């Protein structure tokens, strides 16, 4: 099973890595290797060459969209005969577990914040809108964490719609990957940024009939794509890396897996979780939303983006 490109007529322009790289033009590299190390996710081999070839052209494109949005607002202001207050430009980033969407989001936040037109860029993840473990357990869906029903969709839509409406300040819950749960009493405060990046598995999912979805408020959306077989291996590799690092912390929800399982048992556990949870969620809920994205980044086995699809305007 793969997540390869469909052969039907496409609403996208497809570009090779070389063609995409050329679109960087003179965009400067505002990032050092040390800063990239701090942004890179666990087991994500992204390097400066990848930033230059893929993410600088993307940063340039997003800046052009941002400026176009500003001009459109000025046009509407002129039409209405009054001033229209600016609201955040919202970018959605979707993709599977372990595909690298978190690294993509952190990297874009840093690159976009260094353009002179939008110094304030905020990043939120939909993990903040997962129901607490106690609620998931009560509803019998603890083993479906990450599936659409495990999120407080209404709270997420309320947050994004408030930000898009120009709310000066909004607070959202904080999710701890170490504790594998929402942190009681903790909050992240978002104060009307120039750009808001919303990253999550299902941010491009279509809403129920008659309802608004979070993607309805996006000005631009990105889907990070790869073959299912490759993502599976990345997930297994990442779990082994976590077993040697984060899982050794006594506070970790998965602490027992750092000591109680040997290498073969860990591999079997990772393959089982992927097969019974993550792959089902990917194929049933996440991958079908790829066609809704403005832009698709397709990675090869080595995590390098080789093809880019940009929706025709």
**Can you give the pLDDT of all 313 residues of the chain as single tens digits?**
444 555 567 788 999 999 999 999 888 899 888 899 888 877 788 999 999 999 999 999 999 999 999 899 889 889 998 888 889 999 999 999 999 999 999 999 999 999 988 789 999 999 999 999 999 999 999 999 999 999 999 999 999 999 999 999 999 999 999 999 999 999 999 999 999 999 999 999 998 888 899 999 999 999 999 999 999 999 999 999 988 888 889 889 888 878 888 888 889 999 999 999 999 999 999 999 999 999 999 999 999 999 999 998 7
Burial of 254 (0-12, 13-18, 19+ CB in 10 A): middle
HSE (side-chain half, CA atoms, 13 Å) at 178: 9
Distance from C-alpha of 139 to C-alpha of 141, rounded to nearest angstrom: 6
Spatial contact of 129 and 173, defined as CB atoms under 8 Å apart: yes
| Cα atoms found within 13 Å of the Cα of residue 23, Cβ hemisphere only | 18
Closest CA to 226 of 218, 234, 217: 234
pLDDT of residue 5: 52
Q: What pLDDT is recorded for position 8?
A: 63
How confident is the model at residue 70, as a pLDDT? 87
Query: Which pLDDT value is given to residue 2?
Result: 47
First to last CA, the chain: 31
Alpha-carbon distance of 284 to 265, in angstroms, equals 27
- The number of angstroms, rounded, from the C-alpha of 91 to the middle of its chain's C-alpha atoms is 9
- The predicted pLDDT at position 3 comes to 47
Match 């719609």 to its residue by tokens.
161
């Amino acid at each position: 099973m793969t997540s390869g490109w469909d052969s039907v007529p496409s609403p996208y322009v497809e570009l090779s890595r070389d063609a995409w790289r050329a679109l960087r033009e003179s965009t400067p590299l505002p990032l050092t290797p040390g800063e990239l190390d701090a942004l890179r996710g666990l087991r994500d081999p992204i390097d400066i060459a990848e930033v230059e070839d893929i993410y600088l052209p993307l940063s340039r494109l997003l800046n052009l969209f941002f400026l176009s949005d500003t001009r459109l607002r000025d046009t509407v202001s002129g039409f209405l005969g009054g001033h229209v207050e600016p609201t955040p430009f919202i970018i959605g980033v979707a993709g599977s577990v372990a595909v690298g969407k978190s690294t993509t989001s952190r990297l874009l936040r840093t690159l976009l914040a260094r353009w002179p037109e939008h110094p304030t860029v905020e990043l939120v993840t939909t993990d903040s809108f997962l129901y607490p473990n106690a609620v998931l357990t009560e509803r019998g869906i603890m083993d479906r964490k990450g599936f659409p029903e495990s999120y407080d969709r209404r709270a997420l839509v309320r947050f994004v719609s408030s930000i898009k409406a120009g709310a000066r300040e909004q607070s959202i819950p904080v999710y701890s990957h170490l504790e594998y749960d929402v942190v009681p009493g903790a909050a992240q405060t978002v104060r009307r940024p120039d750009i808001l990046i919303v990253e999550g598995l299902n941010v491009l999912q279509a809403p129920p009939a008659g309802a608004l979805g979070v993607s309805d408020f996006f000005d631009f959306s990105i889907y990070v794509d790869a073959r299912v077989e490759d993502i599976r291996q990345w997930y297994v590799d990442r779990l082994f890396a976590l077993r040697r690092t984060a899982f050794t912390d006594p506070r970790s929800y998965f602490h027992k897996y750092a000591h109680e399982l040997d290498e073969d048992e860990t591999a079997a556990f990772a393959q089982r979780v992927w097969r019974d949870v993550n792959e089902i969620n990917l194929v049933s809920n996440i991958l079908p939303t790829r066609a809704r994205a403005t832009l698709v980044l397709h990675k090869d086995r080595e995590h390098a983006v080789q093809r880019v699809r940009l929706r025709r305007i």
